[in-house]
Structure 1
């Protein structure tokens, strides 16, 4: 039969072992996390450094890390030296990304509300139906979409991209918002209903503020997906609706690959997404953890 002293000693030994294990894990996982971060950041740092080199230094082998820095690549991108004007593609990308994200939120929030708070019949089947629309490769639907756009006169139209990006991002948004709305206390919604609030008021004034971090995370992800999309934009647009990713292909010509200019253009085009992610990073972390399994 164990005595109180023995039991206390055993608990003390167990706590010491647990503390030692946690210390070892932190010492091992900390450097591994930093190493993984550096591995992912290295290509971005290399692209940024290359963008400040001349074309001859950027194409040298081995790479000239200590080559003189210059802004010629950025001058070429912004058209200061007679190059193509980048502002129409940037405005087109911003238009398609912002409007498609707003449409996705307007459609995803009521759908997620019906699947999470006021569950419809077979709501799990409905969620998997939404997800099944992402299982078809995008290239498989390119030809019918192109034929539809050509027959309806929608080729080289930015609003066609808005509709496409909305349909592409809607399943992901519904899945994310459903997990966020599932965390909303039912008592809050019931109290609003007892006060006579209707569904639009409940969504805008009751549910919206509670799941604001989730809405921010969903918006940012949909915006990034729309901003970076290139396949449909490359095939369905021409001059008027050309987007920023398509504009990057203009730096690959028959004369060769303008590596410094391409790096400068890629970095400049990435800045809006990086700025949006940096500005909403706290909401993004809260949103991605809001629907996590506790």
Structure 2
């Protein structure tokens, strides 16, 4: 009788012996709603300064300088007209050239380096990775004077190729670390199959490994591009008029005389558009790439 009485209760728990849970209750829905509201609040706090800068860029200098700011002030394109009339195209082209070329060089160097440190690890690879990381521990200001003196001695100041070299060395450790975390997820069986088919190292990297880690390459490229585009310190010191970049050109609108807030906001919006466009265009690849090496 005892065994017979227990059988229906055990049968109600399912074939696996585990109790079947019902739909989430009111407490679970409230918890999800609470965290959803918190996420929206944090997102709005991050976007609010950008929206405020965008609104200020469409105000006149007099309305932008009022305290407190006038939200309902008339809109105008005066700030954008003054920005485009000041000749921004050479600095924008310099920033685009330095960012794109340095990013391409970084990927060409970081891809095989990360391969050698992950899939086919060299001896003492952990020491090599620490060396790459240690280069980011040095403050940028500490390296500024030696680079300036060297560039001055070889007559390389105010040259866009100097910025390309600096941006490449600045972003290379980051790209190696990122790509290594992606490459360690590549199944070794794919490489062995390519080796059996007679593919060399270059063919394996180009036709087998690169398509697998395309999201990782996109994420590393986007981050290197953003860091190069936004860099100001080296560009401010190492360039003059020929190799002036967009961030350096942007600082020229800040003066000690007159009103400049609306014009600076308009210039900031225009200078930020390439980075925003690249981020939105590669958004899915960026999220997929940044999370590729996070889950083991």
TM-score bracket for the superposition, by shorter chain length? over 0.9
Deviation string, structure 1 residues 64-123 (Cα, Å, up to 9, x no partner): 1000000010001101xxxx2000000000000000000000000000000110011121
State the partner residue of 2:234.
Answer: 232
Aligned counterpart for 2:152 among listed residues 150, 153, 159: 150
Over 2 Å off, 4+ runs: 1-12, 14-25
Please list, as runs of the form range in 1=range in 2, the aligned pairs for 1:1-294 lying within 5 A after superposition. Answer: 3=6, 8=12, 12=19, 15-16=21-22, 22-79=28-85, 84-294=86-296
How far off is 1:23 after superposition? 3.0
2-structure distance, mates of 1:148, 1:21: 65
Question: C-alpha displacement at 1:262, in angstroms?
Answer: 0.2
1:189-223 superposed Cα distances (whole Å, 9 cap, x missing partner): 11111111111111111111110010000000000
Q: Answer yes or no: is the 8 Å Cα contact 2:61–2:259 preserved in 1.
A: no
Give the 3 Å change call, closer, same or farther, for CA 248–197 of structure 1 in structure 2: same
Q: Distance in 1 between matches of 2:27 and 2:125?
A: 43
| Partner secondary structure for residue 252 of structure 2 | helix
Q: How far off its partner does 1:59 sit?
A: 0.2
Tell me the distance in 2 between the aligned counterparts of 1:44 and 1:285. Answer: 22
TM-score normalized with structure 1 length: 0.93
- Give TM-score, length-normalised by structure 2: 0.93
What RMSD in Å do the two structures reach over aligned CA positions? 1.9
> Are the aligned partners of 2:65 and 2:259 in contact in 1 as well (CA < 8 Å)?
no
How many residues align structurally?
A: 289
Q: Which one has a bigger Cα radius of gyration?
A: 2
Q: Which stretch has the larger CA shift, 123-132 or 262-271? A: 123-132
Gaps of at least 5 residues in structure 2 are: none
